[in-house]
Amino acid sequence: MQIRTPEFKESARIALHDVGLQKALGNVKNGFPGKRAAAMARLPEFDALRDQARDVKNHVIAHLDLYLEQFEAKVLENGGHVHWCRTSEDARQTILKICREQNARTVTKGKSMVTEEINLNEFLEQNGIQPIETDLGEYIIQLRGEHPSHIIAPAIHLNLEDVADTFHAHHHTPRSVDPKVLMQEARERLREKFAAADVGITGANFLVAETGSSIIVTNEGNGDLTQILPNTHIVVTSIEKVVPTLEDMTLFLRLLARSATGQECSVYNTLSTGGRRPGDQDGPENFHVVLVDNGRSDMVGNDFQDMLRCIRCAACMNHCPVYGAVGGHSYGWVYPGPMGSVLTPQMIGIEQGALLPNASTFCGKCESVCPVHIPLPKLMRHWREKEFEKHLTPRTARWGLGGWAFMARRPALYRKFSALSNAALRLMAGKKGYIRKIPMVGAWTDWRDMPAPSGKTFMQQWQEKQRSGH
Amino acid sequence: MSKAEILGNIRRGLGGKITDEARATVKNRIQAHAPNLIPARGQLPAAERLALFINMARESAAELIELNDLADLPAALDQHMQSLGITELIMAQDKCLTSLDWSPLQNKQTTQRVSQVGDLASLTTAFLGIAETGTLMLYSRAESPTTLNFLPDTHYVVLRREDIVGVYEDAWNQLREETGGQMPRTVNLITGPSRSADIEQTLQMGAHGPRQLVIYLI
């Protein structure tokens, strides 16, 4: 998809004034956090599981090469194929080749963010193959020519009325605003597509090295119909999804649904291992796993390694005040919210992605709800540092930071200056106690008043108290 | 080519060469498949385990019907199918099902094949029930095609009380034992009927999979 991340500020401004979007975003804030909290409360071991999940992921990353080799060996042993793809282009060509071998005309798809990342749908269409999204949310946005605005609830930016209009226009049925009727329409239309597809593409939530299995975690059952009806099943996934054993996968399953939707357990957790076995009456003959790197192997050993622990539950964006205000499309690429603000600069480059790690209040909520304890604010700070190093930071901010750094290295000067500005601010505020306008920081004072410092600086107070023996 | 590049890049990030120690660590971890922390919730004596399974399955919106004997199944199904107006049952070919006396099914027929678009009801067995979350474990094999678990509107599943385990870890061990460590093509963990909240985050039942999941507990 087209990268629109550099337009973040403008997109965010438009989003804040979009009445429909603001209503829809209410469904995020009023839904997910409460459900997650309730699920957590029912499982006393939840926090202990999070610690363990972090440790298992760290262990896997420290042996990622070996676990991937083991996973591949098991897939081959079960008659499947593994394709290693360094870039999006490698992955697209690999998938196209498999589809061509099957003379594929239509491809059904289960929900997959990695296929968004590699821009697969557009590419298949250009090559005469029709991709059909089958997850209800993905189906809705595909009809509208949109991309997901959330990694687990792709159509969360839409209201019922929008879906009603979309289905009315594309299905040529009477317009209904009954969600039940709308879902039924999608169900009926997609049934035939499932049966007619030549290839089914799904993502994977985890890959199990012990068995060579991939697992998808879903509620609708579309991912299952996608993979069992066509002759060929392609799993498009990324290298950090591997876990050692079924027991380790279980640890993550206990965290994933609860962190994501607040469910005790998703409806369908499906393990796929190789192709159809002798005697099996259904299921795909061919099983392919496309392992996408796309910059992830560069993260091993760098400042962003912790991000490889991410299990894509979306808890960070569900609790994020910035995501909740501007929605996923404002972020301008595939991954929104705090996890996207860390991942996007890695994948599209800090030159294009720099606004995202800056679009954070650093309230810390994302880190506090992360099931694998990713220090998201810290990683966003690392990106700000890289931005500064590369001289991408706007000049006024650089001057400001440079000036502050100069003072901070000279404590005596710093104290004198802060005492002086303290007094100056108090003078500017006068009797009101707050300041309406400060030159050069209009971005702040245009929208709010700046409270004046209430007394002496911390250092002044400290020294006085030391002297008076308190 | 890509494989060598990706693995090479990972190794560079990890600081160089693969050691024998690292290889042994990975091999041992996979062979040991040791459990991680197991929640206390599922570690219960048999009677409480059964009660937990029933509660959790019902919470997931599965319909759960208790029968004393497998022989009572055809009559129970007759009644349930009658209430839904269903006249054909697509069946898995497990011996325990095919050997039953199906004459109680009145004006209805049973068919043994894979499922197709348009089928209204299927019947399969479950390999295990997992009490922790009220989940059924099924796996693909010649007698039990996976399409039966997903295409029909109503999925009837037979589960024996003694096949209910407490937690997933027990289930994996039993699966390894049952299949000689050879994973079947598909393992399905099913908790309730299909659903979606993709329209305005309002939960609707019956998205793409079965609209109803009916468990007969024997």
CATH placement of domain B40-217: 3.40.50.10420
Is A201 an 8 Å CB contact of chain B?
no
Give CA separation, A90 vs A1, A47, A243, in Å.
16, 39, 24
Provide the pLDDT for residue B17.
Answer: 83
Residue A25's Cβ-count burial label (10 Å; 0-12, 13-18, 19+) is: buried
In this predicted model, what pLDDT tens digit does every residue of B45-80 receive, in sequence order?
Answer: 999 999 999 999 999 999 999 999 999 999 999 999
What is the CATH classification number for the domain harbouring A241?
Answer: 3.40.50.10420
Quote the minimal CA–CA distance from A34 to chain B in Å: 13
Task: Give the pLDDT of residue A364.
Answer: 97
- Give the pLDDT band (50/70/90) at residue A470: low
> Could you tell me if residue A386 is inside a domain?
no
With CB atoms and an 8 Å threshold, state whether A159 touches B60.
no
Q: Is residue A270's pLDDT more than 80?
A: yes
> What does the pLDDT read at residue A469?
75
Do B209 and A194 lie within an 8 Å CB cutoff? Answer: no
* The pLDDT value given to residue A172: 95
The set of residues, in sequence order, having a beta carbon less than 8 Å from that of A332 and lying 6+ positions away, is: A3, A4, A5, A6, A7, A8, A11
A135 located within any domain: yes
Last-in-domain residue among A236, A268, A297: A297
Chain B hits for A28, CB-CB cut-off 8 Å, are: 201
Residue A155 dihedral angles phi and psi, to the nearest 5°? -105, 25
Distance between first and last Cα of chain B: 55
State the Cα torsion A149-A152-A158-A160 to the nearest 10°. Answer: 170
Burial class (CB in 10 A: 0-12, 13-18, 19+), A278: exposed
Q: Centre a 10 Å sphere on the Cβ of residue A277 and count the other Cβ atoms it contains.
A: 18
Q: Is A161 on the interface with B (CB under 8 A)?
A: no
Residue type, A440: M
Q: Is A224's CB within 8 Å of B200's CB?
A: no
Contact residues, A window 374-393, toward B, CB-based 8 Å cutoff: none
Q: What is the pLDDT of residue B1?
A: 62
- The whole-angstrom distance between A83's CA and the closest CA on chain B is 8
The closest of A178, A221, A215 to B194, measured between CA atoms, is A221
Q: Which of A134, A269, A273 sits opposite B208 (nearest CB)?
A: A134
> What total number of domains does chain A contain?
2
Query: Using CB atoms and an 8 Å cut-off, which of residues 81-110 of chain B contact chain A?
Result: none
User: Which A residues in the span 338-357 are in contact with B, Cβ-Cβ below 8 Å?
Assistant: none
**CA–CA dist A318, A32 (Å, integer):** 6
User: Mean pLDDT throughout B191-213?
Assistant: 95
Predicted pLDDT of residue A30 = 86
pLDDT at A454 over 80: no
Chain A residues with CB under 8 Å of B187 CB are 213, 270-271, 273
Give, in order, the Cα–Cα distances in Å from A353 to each of A5, A42, A264, A378, B18.
6, 39, 36, 17, 34
State the greatest distance between any 2 C-alpha atoms of chain A, in Å, as a whole number: 90
Residue B206 has pLDDT above 70, yes or no: yes
For chains A and B, what is the number of CB pairs under 8 angstroms? 264
pLDDT tens for A289-318 read 999 999 999 999 999 999 999 999 999 999
Q: What is the mean pLDDT of chain B?
A: 96
A106 vs B: CB within 8 A:
no
Residue A119, in any domain of the structure? yes
Look at B10 and A194 and tell me if their CB atoms are within 8 Å: no
**What is the pLDDT averaged over residues B109-133?**
97
> Which residues in chain A have Cβ-Cβ distances shorter than 8 Å to B157?
none
String of DSSP letters for B96-134: HHHTS--TTSTT-EEE-S---TT--EEEEE-SEEETTTT
Token readout for B113 is 């094949």
Is A446 inside any structural domain? Answer: yes
Local confidence band at B133 (pLDDT 50, 70, 90 cut-offs)? very high
Q: Identify the residue among B114, B199, B212 best suited for mutation to test binding to A, counting A beta carbons within 10 A and taking the highest.
A: B199
- CB contact under 8 Å between A248 and B15, yes or no, is no
Region A95-113: mean pLDDT is 98
Task: Give the distance between the most distant pair of CA atoms in chain B.
Answer: 71
SS3 B45: coil
Q: Which residue of B has its CA nearest to A84?
A: B3
- Provide, as residue numbers in chain A, all residues whose Cβ is less than 8 Å from the Cβ of B12: 301
Whether A407 is in a domain gets the answer yes
Rounded mean pLDDT of A123-144? 98
* B47 burial via Cβ count (<10 Å: 0-12, 13-18, 19+): exposed
Residue the block writes with tokens 């678009």: B117
With beta carbons under 8 A apart, name residues in chain B contacting A225: 150-151, 208-209
Does B98 score more than 90 pLDDT?
yes
Assigned domain for A107 exists: yes
Q: Per mean pLDDT, which range of A27-31, A276-280, B122-126, B212-216 is the poorest?
A: A27-31
Q: List CB contacts (< 8 A) between B207 and chain A.
A: 136, 183, 187, 219-222
Range of the domain at A152: 43-297
- What is the reported pLDDT for A133? 98
Dihedral pair phi/psi, residue A180, rounded to 5°: -65, -45
Domain locations along chain B: 1-34, 40-217
| Residue to test with chain B: of A57, A202, A281, most B Cβ within 10 A | A281
A137 CB neighbours in chain B (<8 A) are 196, 198
Average pLDDT over residues A146-162: 97
pLDDT at A455 over 80: no
DSSP state of B146: G
Predicted-assembly ipTM surpassing the 0.95 threshold: yes
Whether residue A184 is predicted with pLDDT greater than 80 in this model: the reply is: yes
Cβ–Cβ below 8 Å for B36 and A229: no
* Contact state of A70 with B3 under an 8 Å Cβ cutoff: no
pLDDT of residue A254: 98
Interface test with B, best of A282, A300, A317, A372 (most B CBs within 10 A): A282
**Can you point out the beta strands (E) in A263-342?**
268-272, 286-292
Which of B39, B185, B201 shows the shortest C-beta gap to A283?
A: B185
Where does the pLDDT of residue B185 fall: very low under 50, low under 70, confident under 90, or very high at 90 and above? Answer: very high
Q: In this predicted model, what pLDDT tens digit does every residue of A200-246 receive, in sequence order?
A: 999 999 999 999 999 999 999 999 999 999 999 999 999 999 999 99
Q: pLDDT digits over A413-423, tens only?
A: 998 888 888 88
Do A254 and A111 reside in the same domain of the chain? yes
- Whole-number percent of chain A with pLDDT over 90: 83
A128 pLDDT higher than 90: yes
**Chain A contact present for B24, CB below 8 A:** no
Contact residues on chain B for A78, CB-CB shorter than 8 A: 183
Residue that terminates a domain, selected from A228, A262, A297: A297
Which chain B positions have a beta carbon within 8 Å of A229's beta carbon? Answer: 147
Q: Determine whether the interchain pair A136/B207 forms a contact, defined as Cβ–Cβ distance below 8 Å.
A: yes
For chain B, say whether A270 makes contact (Cβ under 8 Å): yes
Query: A16: part of which helix (H) or strand (E)?
Result: helix A8-16
Per-residue model confidence as pLDDT tens digits over A321-373: 999 999 999 999 999 999 999 999 999 999 999 999 999 999 999 999 999 99
The answer on A430 and A290 residing in a single domain is no
Chain A touched by B206 (CB under 8 Å): yes
pLDDT band at A80 (very low <50, low <70, confident <90, very high): very high
In a domain, A419, yes or no: yes
Residues A167 and A273 in one domain: yes
Mean pLDDT over B168-186 rounds to 96
- Per-residue model confidence (pLDDT) at position B207: 95
B16–A contact, CB cutoff 8 A? no
- Closest residue in B to A151 (Cα) is B198
Chain B residues in contact with A233 (beta carbon < 8 A): none
CA–CA min distance A115, chain B (Å): 19
Q: What pLDDT is attached to residue B18? A: 86
- Residue B20: list chain A partners with CB under 8 A: none
Closest by Cα among A362, A325, A368 to A342: A362
Under the banding of pLDDT at 50, 70 and 90, the label for residue B157 is very high
DSSP assignment letter at A295: T
So what's the pLDDT on residue A394? 85
Q: What is the pLDDT of residues A29-59, one digit of tens each?
A: 889 999 999 999 999 999 999 999 999 999 9
